[in-house]
Amino acid sequence: MSESKVKFELVSPERLVLSEEVNMVVVPGSEGDFGVLPGHSPMISSVRPGVINTYVEGTITTKIFVAGGFSEVTGDRCTVLAEIALPVDEIDRTLVETELKECLEEIDRNNEPSDQKTAKTNAEIARAKLKALDSPVYQ
């Protein structure tokens, strides 16, 4: 591997989604987005719902929505274990808007704490998908 590259792997419960060498990867960490370049200090972070961008030669080459998970970073590698991973261009706005509406209705009509928590989490994921579609950097 080149000294100017980082090995990036994105894994979902179903499969290895992506494995490639990139110049930089930007991950939506729970404390904010973080960029990983060659020589990065080792770290582990939780991942919030958002978009992972990979860069090659200064250009975004991959935009993948993730719905949370964990990231492990070493000096030459970044691995993300994501609960859900899908390319941003495969997000269906109409479907997500319907999902969000249903989640909000579920929150309003359900008094069971565990059901409310699930509905709130799903609403947060739907909002993050819509944000990914509306962000100019992801166009």
Q: How much is the average pLDDT of 98-112? A: 88
pLDDT for 137: 62
pLDDT (tens digit per residue) in 3-18:
789 999 999 999 999 9
Residue 112 in this model has a pLDDT that exceeds 90? no
Proportion of the chain above pLDDT 70, given as a percent: 96
pLDDT for 65: 95
pLDDT for 1: 56
Amino acid type, 81: L
40-45, long-range: CB < 8 A, 24+ apart: 40/6, 40/73, 40/74, 40/75, 40/78, 41/73, 41/75, 42/73, 42/74, 42/75, 43/72, 43/73, 44/70, 44/71, 44/72, 44/73, 45/70, 45/71, 45/73
Dist. CA 67–CA 70, nearest whole Å: 10
| CA terminus-to-terminus distance, the chain | 30
Yes or no: say if 128 and 67 are a contact pair by the CB < 8 Å rule. yes
Residue 54 in this model has a pLDDT that exceeds 60? yes
Yes or no: say if 52 and 64 are a contact pair by the CB < 8 Å rule. yes
pLDDT for 2: 65
CATH topology of domain 6-88: ATP Synthase; domain 1 (2.60.15)
pLDDT (tens digit per residue) in 43-52:
999 999 999 9
pLDDT for 138: 42
pLDDT for 136: 67
Q: Which residues, other chains included, contact 79 with Cβ-Cβ below 8 Å and sequence gap of 6+?
A: 8, 9, 10, 11, 71, 72, 73
Average pLDDT along the chain: 91
pLDDT for 139: 35
